[in-house]
Amino acid sequence: MAKKTEKKSGSPKKTAAKKPKKSARPSATGRSLIIVESPSKAKTINKYLGKQYTVMASVGHVKDLPKSKFGIDVEKDFRPQYTVIKGKTTVLNEIKLAAKGADRIYLAPDPDREGEAIAWHIAEELNGDSDKVYRVLFNEITERAIRKALEQPTKLDQHKVDAQQARRVLDRIVGYKISPLLWEKVRRGLSAGRVQSVAVRLVCEREKERGAFVSEEYWSVTAKLEGHNPPPFEARLIQLRGKEAELSTGSQAHSLVERIKTAPFVVKQIDKKDRLRNPNPPFITSRLQQDAARKLRFSPKRTMMLAQQLYEGIEIGEEGPVGLITYMRTDSTRVGQEALDEARGYIRERHGADYLPSQANVYKTKKEAQDAHEAIRPTSVHRTPESLKAYLTKDHHQLYKLIWDRFVASQMNPARLEMTRVDIGAGEALFRANGQVVKFPGFTVLYTESQEDQQAEKKTPAGASKSEESDDDEERTLPSLSVGEQLTLRGLDPKQHFTQPPPRYTEALLIKDLEEKGIGRPSTYHTILSTIVDRKYVEKEEGRLKPTDLGVVVNGLLVEHFPDVLNVQFTARMETELDEVEEGEKPWVETVREFYEPFAKRLTTAQKEMRDVKREEIPTEIICEKCGRNMVIKWGRHGRFLACPGYPDCKNTKEFVEENGKVRVVDKVEETKETCPKCGNPLVVKRGRFGRFLACSTYPQCDFTKAIGTGVKCPQPDCGGDLVEKRSRRGKTFFACSNYPKCTYALWNRPIPTPCPECKAPFLVEKFDKRTGPKIVCMNKECGYEQEEKSPLEPAVGQATPK
């Protein structure tokens, strides 16, 4: 039955084996056609092969489900109705023409499900030439890898095609069926995604946790001490009368300080132990995206774009295009023997035998990993980041260095640390100081994993220990001390703290959570994140992800009416089932049917019962000052707002926030000394979807708006424009010339209308440094002028004052 079902759904009659078998090696004579999906990859491959090979690019997918209709025949086992993508007819015709004159055709799109689907669609179009069509897989774009793959061609892996087809059909069912419902009930143009909606749910639930969090006060006490030997050091209170120290008020902390300040501080115990810090495995896709986000501030989308270009080939001087890294969509930490030998040889030659383990480090790949490809690594460790710097853009170089460093470090010896813990008694109190000394740096000479965000994640609200040591303590070097030694007290510092709510997700942390929960796959993480931001369900605030009003509303509706679709465990199970399809363990039609039947019932119920947010009016206790009615919460194009129910007679509206279930009006309007050029009334500062702007105070009677100026003229010669405040699609404020697009001058740092006192540059800029805070600097790098900012600078808006 299963085989019959798959034939009906559009699969070829011949079913591939569980793993694609190697084809008989084709004849070495005659002309060969190689088809890849990327022009840059085609250019790199063409460099390595002779004139008997023609390399063409499909430029991505050539066929897909139609945009104008559902495109799936549910009654005929979910048969997809593929059509040629607009603009790809010419490409396909050129490929067909070239195929007629070729003795062998090698399909070489990326070695993953999407690549297999591209190859399958091209093979379908070349149906009459099926006997001479082969599939080849390039894990890296090097001459050795290309020639080896051409010597060992396979046939198409139908199970991998089916897995991609199942994912595409599932995504189309969810998107095409739920999206019109959201158009009807919330707003036109909205869309839902099978995996993206789950990611939005995670962000919304984190925000809900933050909203429900109740902060608790606690106090710490730090002793500043000095022993017989330098340097002075600090120790933190950990126990009182043998129990964990818990100081919840300032009076308790100050009372303790008074009781112990005259007590002798004596070293009670010293523990020293050696600790090994092992290197991390080479990158898999998710880890690369996380570390690039933390260390380089790259979005996952940007990371994958740059990695794709490094994989396909970059121009390296006279060498021409060179593939610099292996395939970047992988969840395996496996490394080929040749690459291991090359890395070990490099380490021995460059760093010495002390840094080289007796055997190559082998890392365990997680159970659910597909293990089809190697880890992400340089195609040759002898192409060092420094040797390529002249040929790479700054971003390409940074990402290549991250990959290169991590791979080489993964084959080095661990770092050896001496950890020291000193317990110090003072009356009823016990203090502790921690320190460490690096005895052998090992792999850390090349690479250390960023601790940012992982530290924040550990600071859970109620469960956070009041006496937990900071990570800085462990990095300190302690003086030489002895048990029984009496220390000199230089000060006791009681400090107030408050437990913090769980942090909002960064892109790196959300990817980590998606991966741990089994949602999505390496090739989809960057798409998930960019999609939920582009659709305005999530926005970035200070580098962290926050749900928009739209995201909260849509998430609430979908969780209520489609609990399975948005269930984390259900979505993870679907990913496992798609893996089973790829392994040939389950027919793809069965997987889709098991999803569709309960989904269709939920859809029918939702069409009848889902509340109509567009028409919803939630009453509040806020009184309209213009007509005396109780204002209501309504839904608009840019989210929720307060409106007078007397509309259209009364058009009063207000912004608001909801705190602990109560509605509070937020008056964000700022008056300025500027007047409207259309009607002469005052201009006010307002906030919209693209940030702050100036608008007429009589809106909607007068609809004049303009960007907020900074008081600084554009520095471009003969421009005459002003630098004005703007907001990027990603929600980040920047400053650009008012004459755009005629003038494209822009900068991220806020311009300050003050000339540089040293080089007389026309303006300074406000810059934020994470370590030192805000400061004012000169834009002229050769000048170097900077000053600390005494107080936060107010944006220049015509001397704005709160209304």
Residue spans of beta strands (DSSP E) within 256-399: 265-277, 314-315, 321-322
746 three-state secondary structure: strand
Distance of CA 137 to the CA centre of its chain: 28
Give the C-alpha separation, 398 to 510, whole Å: 23
Place of tokens 């599939």: 135
The CA distance from 92 to 108, in Å, is: 15
Q: Is residue 181 within 8 Å of residue 610, measured between CB atoms?
A: yes
Residue 792: Cβ-neighbour burial (10 angstroms; 0-12, 13-18, 19+): exposed
Q: Tell me how far apart the alpha carbons of residues 731 and 538 are, in angstroms, rounded to a whole number.
A: 10
Q: Estimate to the nearest angstrom the gap between the alpha carbon of 47 and the chain centroid.
A: 35
Do residues 395 and 304 make contact, with C-beta atoms less than 8 angstroms apart?
A: no
Catalytic residue among 327, 355, 505, 596: 327
Rounded to 5 degrees, φ, ψ at 206 are -65, -40
Q: Can you read off the two tokens belonging to residue 448?
A: 């250390």
- Tell me how far apart the alpha carbons of residues 274 and 419 are, in angstroms, rounded to a whole number: 6
- In 3-state terms, what secondary structure has residue 249? coil
232, 234, 240, 241 alpha-carbon torsion, rounded to 10°: -30
CA–CA separation, 332 vs 369, rounded Å? 6
What are the DSSP calls for 452-473, one per residue?
TTHHHHH--TTTS-TTPPPHHH
> What 3-state class would DSSP assign to 259?
helix
Nearest to 330 by CA among 171, 190, 523, 114: 523
Prior bond of 648 cis (ω within 30°): yes
Phi first, then psi, for residue 492 (nearest 5°) are -125, 125
3-class DSSP assignment, residue 670: strand
677-680, long-range: CB < 8 A, 24+ apart: 677/704, 678/702, 678/704, 679/704
| CA separation for the pair 525, 506 (Å, rounded) | 13
**Chain-centre distance for alpha carbon 11:** 35
Q: Are 40 and 55 in contact (CB under 8 A)?
A: no
Residue type, 599: F
| CA 620 – CA 614 distance, rounded (Å) | 17
Report the C-alpha gap between 221 and 536 in whole angstroms. Answer: 45
In degrees, to the nearest 5, what angle opens at C-alpha 511 toward C-alphas 509 and 517?
100
327 catalytic? Reply is yes
Q: How many CB atoms lie under 10 A from the CB of residue 274?
A: 10
Catalytic annotation, residues? 327
